[in-house]
Amino acid sequence: MQSFYCRIMEEFIMTPNIPTHAVAGLGEQTKAIHAGEYPDPSTRASSPNIVMSTTFVSDAETGFSVEGLSENDPFIYTRWGNPTIRQLEEKVAALEEAETAIAFASGMAAASTLLFHTLKAGDHAVVSDVAYAALAEITNEMVPGLHIGITKVDTSDLDALRAAIQANTRIIYIETPCNPLLRLTDIAAVADMAHRAGAKLAVDSTFATPAATRPLLSGADFVIHSMTKYLGGHGDALGGILLGSKADLTPLRKKTAIRMGGVISPFNAWLIMRGIATFPLRMRAHQENALQIARRLEQHPEVKRVIYPGLPSHPQYELAQRQMKNFSGILTFQVENGKEQARKFAERLQIIHYAVSLGHHRSLIFYLDSKDLQHTSFQLATPRQQESWNAFAGEGIFRLSVGLEDAADLIADLEQAMT
């Protein structure tokens, strides 16, 4: 008699269907370990194999075009679907409680595929005025070049957001907490506003992660993650994922994702899947370390201001408590002379890496100069937008992605580099 998991794996391996029934109702850490993973029925290997094959042996009835592809078809070609990638999609879908998911080569591949699938010439989108830099840049230049209207707005300001919506608005795109300000947006309120206007809501939840928020349960239509960050968690694989309903994502996969081709390597999918096994545990440790360091920095004589959603001094602490179950591991702080301090950090830090990116087990710090960023990525148009930027960032901020090292060692490393 074949074991329970081997039967599921046999069912899974033959079709790209996601058998989410296997983990529904289980706890977060159990899902992180087991969702999408089944022993290999032929070898009985307990850990997942990596299927690197780009093509799959077909039968004579298999069609040649993606148009005829159905969800129940066997795997044909890895750009269309691959068992290892599908296992990762199932795992993240289980964590987000999403009906389905599509993995991509990077977070930007996920975000750009969503925008190019949803928006046609003559349409309009409302986008957070402060967001991941590459997202800010494509919506400043590339998307408007296709005769698609874009309005940038501070999405934490619900009145400004309401005023930005037009009759042809198809999508509202937010990040909460947003990169790099750690400013929050009320997901449920914006979902309601989007749906009243006949638009969809997309939430980049990379900073929050599913340990903090599940935007789909608050009414969002799409969730985007850069899996390069907390989900992968170890700084060794780029990846992105888009989650939502089958009604939205099945046509998106067929019409746009497969054709644009921003497919994740099965090797990266496997690395990220391995990283996710410890994801809920890591998020608790990230939060604990970040809170300790945020409190210490608040007391430091050189530090003018610390922004962390888990501190009562965060300007939106009430919303943070209502919306986030975990405050994640990213904080920002300001000092008097940021550029000079950046030089000191780059030269003197011994544990924390002076490097971009975030969400790794290793702590990372980087200086973000307000003048530079506003010149390149963010073109804040109104005095009110500028005011909100200043409330969070002033002249510039250090973004510290607090890793999983011992907090006392991280504090000592920061302090020796700040004297």
**Given 90, 96, 204, 413, the residue binding ligand PLP (CB under 6 A):** 204
Which residues ranging from 87 to 116 are in contact with ligand PLP (CB under 6 A)? 106-108
| Binding flags for ligand PLP, 48-87, as an x/- string (CB under 6 A) | ----------------------------------------
- Contact flag: residue 238 with ligand PLP (CB under 6 A): yes
**Under 8 Å between Cβ of 338 and 395:** yes
Least gap, CB of 47 to ligand PLP (angstroms): 25
Which of the stretches 21-29, 136-144, 193-201, 202-210 binds ligand PLP when contact is defined by CB under 6 A? 202-210
Comparing CB distances to ligand PLP, the nearer of 108 and 211 is 108
Angle between the N-to-C axes of helices 279-299 and 407-416, in degrees from 0 to 180, rounded to the nearest 10: 40
- Contact flag: residue 226 with ligand PLP (CB under 6 A): yes
- Contact flag: residue 175 with ligand PLP (CB under 6 A): yes
**Given 41, 48, 210, 240, the residue binding ligand PLP (CB under 6 A):** 240
- Contact flag: residue 228 with ligand PLP (CB under 6 A): yes
Report strand pairing: 330-335 vs 303-307.
Answer: antiparallel
Which residues ranging from 335 to 354 are in contact with ligand PLP (CB under 6 A)? none
**Given 12, 116, 132, 279, the residue binding ligand PLP (CB under 6 A):** 132
Least gap, CB of 127 to ligand PLP (angstroms): 12
Least gap, CB of 227 to ligand PLP (angstroms): 7
Q: Tell me how many residues contact ligand PLP (CB under 6 A).
A: 14
Structural tokens at position 143: 């998307």
Residue 327 CB contacts under 8 Å (≥ 6 apart), including other chains = 212, 287, 290, 291, 308, 309, 310, 320
Least gap, CB of 178 to ligand PLP (angstroms): 7
Comparing CB distances to ligand PLP, the nearer of 94 and 131 is 131
Comparing CB distances to ligand PLP, the nearer of 69 and 91 is 91
Comparing CB distances to ligand PLP, the nearer of 9 and 272 is 272
Least gap, CB of 379 to ligand PLP (angstroms): 18
DSSP-H helix ranges across 97-205: 107-118, 133-137, 158-164, 187-196
Least gap, CB of 310 to ligand PLP (angstroms): 18
Structural tokens at position 395: 């002249």
Residue 264 CB contacts under 8 Å (≥ 6 apart), including other chains = 85, 88, 103, 104, 105, 238, 239, 240
Comparing CB distances to ligand PLP, the nearer of 156 and 206 is 206
Least gap, CB of 242 to ligand PLP (angstroms): 12
> What residues pair up with 87 in beta bridges, in sequence order?
none
Residue 384 CB contacts under 8 Å (≥ 6 apart), including other chains = 154, 157, 160
- Contact flag: residue 129 with ligand PLP (CB under 6 A): no
Least gap, CB of 53 to ligand PLP (angstroms): 25
CA dist list (Å): 254 to 15, 72, 200: 16, 13, 19
Closest CB to ligand PLP: residue number: 107
Q: Where are the beta strands (DSSP E) in 94-221?
A: 100-104, 124-128, 149-153, 169-175, 200-204
Cα–Cα distance for residue pair 261/334, rounded to 1 Å = 41
β-sheet with 240-244: strand ranges across: 100-104, 240-244, 222-226, 200-204, 169-175, 124-128, 149-153
Least gap, CB of 41 to ligand PLP (angstroms): 33
Cα–Cα distance for residue pair 419/411, rounded to 1 Å = 13
CA dist list (Å): 49 to 13, 56, 57, 189, 244: 12, 16, 18, 43, 27
Least gap, CB of 402 to ligand PLP (angstroms): 15
Residue 61 CB contacts under 8 Å (≥ 6 apart), including other chains = none
- Note the residues at the interface with ligand PLP (CB under 6 A): 106-108, 132, 175, 179, 204, 206-207, 226, 228-229, 238, 240
